[in-house]
Amino acid sequence: MTKYIFVTGGVTSSLGKGIISASLAKLLQARGYRVTIQKFDPYINIDPGTLNPYEHGECYVTEDGAETDLDLGHYERFLNAPTTQANNITTGRIYQNVINKERQGDYLGKTVQVVPHITDEIKRNMRILGDSGNYDIVITELGGTVGDIESLPFIEAVRQFKWEEGSSNAIVIHLTLIPFLAAAGELKTKPTQHSVKALLEYGIQPDILVCRTEHHISADIRKKIALFCNVNVNAVIESIDASSIYSVPLLMMKEQLDKTVLSKLKLPAKNEPDMESWKDFLGRLKNPTADVRIGLVGKYVELPDAYKSISEAFIHAGAKNECKVRVEYIPSESIYPDNVAEKLGHLQGVLVAPGFGSRGIEGKIEAIKFVRQNEIPFFGICLGMQCAVIEFGRNVLGLKNANTSEIDENSAHQVINMMEEQKNITSKGGTMRLGAYPCDIKKGTKAYAAYGKQHISERHRHRYEFNSEYLKQYEDAGMIASGINPDSNLVEIIELKNHPFFVGGQFHPELKSTVANPHPLFVKFVAAAMEYAKKKIK
């Protein structure tokens, strides 16, 4: 029988519910439990696929092609296990399902209401993963802050769920903030008391409080919180600011969050969590023997969350290479022919980021020309790979005004063009080429050296592709297709023969990088940057 853990948030947003959920899941997994995490988002979009990255950070894509919240990336990076469409549900999807059922006549003439129809649909989605039989424990993170109008139906659904399942089968962990008032020199518990009170108003007594704080919480304060919030003292968990999100599982282990959870769920604690390989990773992360500076050229750099999976993939690849990777975010719009050397000259590697639309694209192309000519390691992802193809077309093959048809439909040389299957699609949201596709790697290439095998699978999110009519011309001049989709023949990886490291992928390798499995292309890219740094010193 599956047990359920709900994670709610109080006082403010951005307390790190996603990281706490992932850390707890990691500890339970390390004790031998089969765990997954899902997230409910209270907004009305069906999924974040249509959101501008400035609104909500990166859109994460699962194996099965769901466009999801970036927290799912944390879940996968911590657990090293894939998530699915069922792991991210929005208010929009809940209402869409209910309205579709209403149109099909499923409610038999009844008035369709928030309670019970919306809350029933929410509960059904809370049970889907558990009902699959694949998990002992499902952790459900509720987006938003308790008290928000938008999240009320979810809170009510949790109340009903807890009542239906019984207190040892479904528990609630409430994440709150213990602010430090510098002028008074004190940690304050009142906001926490109020946010628990808000939960109680909705009929939910939290079982465990995870208290985010900048300073250690004394035994006295723990006692006070326990007394006023009606929980055991050992259910008051300190979550102190950490230098790395990857330290949080160990901090939670020290606070015995996993033990307290298991005792509330009446599950055996079995063995202690086996966190040896995690500690090994942390050791490498915290004791680098080298240092590289890599530029991330993109159009959403003001908001680093827009590139969350990329920056995490650099952390994994850095640890693997025992190298500190300093990522420098560079707005592509700021790069011109006359300043490119000044902007990029000091870097040991440049990654050109994914993206949509024309803003900043010429700066990306300029950056690629510079790193190609100066033999600085280059890694292009999706639009970044497409820009590398455009740059090579314009400056090496002499294809005047070569472009992608996404930006210039009138270009005489559309070296990147829309995929056939995309041409008749007009609606947005869930309609791109999404999710995992197979790719065959050519032997003797840099891609093969990274993956070490021929058949791979990577995740995609795009509408445009390399225009294969130009392939021969490109390969003859030294830009080869080292990865090809075996079913559709689409070019998935390009690389330069005569360059220390110049690789572009039409897919998003960052989505598959985890602590346990750093992505091979990122690992090789960082290694190439280290190599470049050494050569430069010589």
Which positions lie near ligand GLN, rule CB under 6 A? 354-356, 382-383, 406, 461-464
Is residue 164 a contact partner of residue 126, using CB atoms and an 8 Å limit?
no
Establish whether 188 is an annotated binding residue.
Answer: yes
The residue whose two tokens read 């990865």 is: 483
* Biggest CA-to-CA distance, the chain: 80
Q: Is 510 a catalytic residue?
A: yes
* Burial environment of residue 466 by CB neighbours within 10 A (0 to 12, 13 to 18, 19 or more): buried
Is 54 assigned a ligand-binding role in the annotation? yes
CB burial string 128-160: b at 16+ within 10 A, e below: ebbeeeebbbbbbbbbbbbbeeebbbbbbbbbb
Is 1 part of any known ligand binding site?
A: no
71 has binding-site annotation:
yes
| Residue 127 labeled ligand binder | no
CB 435 to ligand GLN: min, Å: 13
355 labeled part of a ligand binding site? yes
Rounded CA gap, 328 and 344, in Å?
A: 10
Put the strands of the sheet holding 170-178 in their side by side order: 88-90, 35-41, 137-142, 3-9, 170-178, 208-213, 236-240
Which is closer to ligand GLN, CB of 343 or CB of 433?
433
What spatial distance separates the first Cα and last Cα of the chain, rounded to whole Å? 62
To 10 degrees, what angle do helices 71-79 and 17-30 make?
20
Annotated binding residue 518: no
Residue closer to ligand GLN by CB (options 357, 398) is 357
Which residues on neighbouring strands pair with residue 505, listed in sequence order? Answer: 381, 493
What is d(CA 91, CA 39) in angstroms, rounded to the nearest whole number?
A: 11
Whether 508 sits among the annotated catalytic residues: the reply is yes
Residue 12 assigned as binding residue: no
Residue closer to ligand GLN by CB (options 202, 356) is: 356
Are 39 and 154 in contact by the 8 Å Cβ rule? The answer is no
Min dist CB 314 to ligand GLN, Å, is 18
> Is 371 in contact with 343 (CB distance < 8 Å)?
no
Q: Which of 121, 165, 366, 510 is catalytic?
A: 510
Closer Cβ to ligand GLN, 159 or 462, answer by number: 462
**What is the smallest separation between the CB atom of 418 and ligand GLN, expressed in angstroms?**
8
Q: How far is the CB of 504 from ligand GLN (least distance, A)?
A: 11
Q: How far is CA 335 from CA 160, 360, 393, in A?
A: 55, 8, 20
Q: Which of 128, 127, 196 is nearest to 158 (CA)?
A: 127
Q: Is 62 annotated as a binding residue?
A: no
Closest contact distance (angstroms) between CB of 485 and ligand GLN is 14
Annotated active-site residue in 59, 211, 229, 382: 382
Question: Which runs of consecutive H residues, i.e. helices, occur in 411-537?
Answer: 446-451, 471-477, 520-537
Q: Which is nearer to ligand GLN, 77 or 462 (CB)?
A: 462
Integer angstrom CA distances of residue 384 from 229, 481, 493, 528: 51, 15, 12, 18
Closest CA to 241 of 74, 11, 16: 16
Please report how close the Cβ of residue 65 comes to ligand GLN at its closest, in angstroms: 13
Query: Checking DSSP bridges between strand 378-381 and strand 349-352, what pairing results, if any?
Result: parallel
Q: Of these residues, 460, 462, 508, 519, which one is catalytic?
A: 508
Of 418 and 530, nearer to ligand GLN (C-beta) is 418
Cβ of residue 419: shortest distance to ligand GLN, in angstroms?
Answer: 8
Q: Which is nearer to ligand GLN, 69 or 141 (CB)?
A: 69
CA distance 346 to 342: 8
Q: 426 or 498: whose CB is closer to ligand GLN?
A: 426
Clarify whether 495 is annotated catalytic.
Answer: no
Q: Phi/psi zone of residue 408: left (φ > 0), alpha (ψ -120 to 50 degrees), beta?
A: beta
Judge whether 150 is annotated as a binding position: yes
Active site residues per annotation: 382, 508, 510
Which residues fall in the annotated binding site for UTP?
A: 13, 188-193, 224
Which residues fall in the annotated binding site for CTP?
A: 13, 148-150, 188-193, 224
Which residues fall in the annotated binding site?
A: 13-19, 54, 71, 141, 148-150, 188-193, 224, 242, 355, 383-386, 406, 463
Which residues fall in the annotated binding site for L-glutamine?
A: 54, 355, 383-386, 406, 463
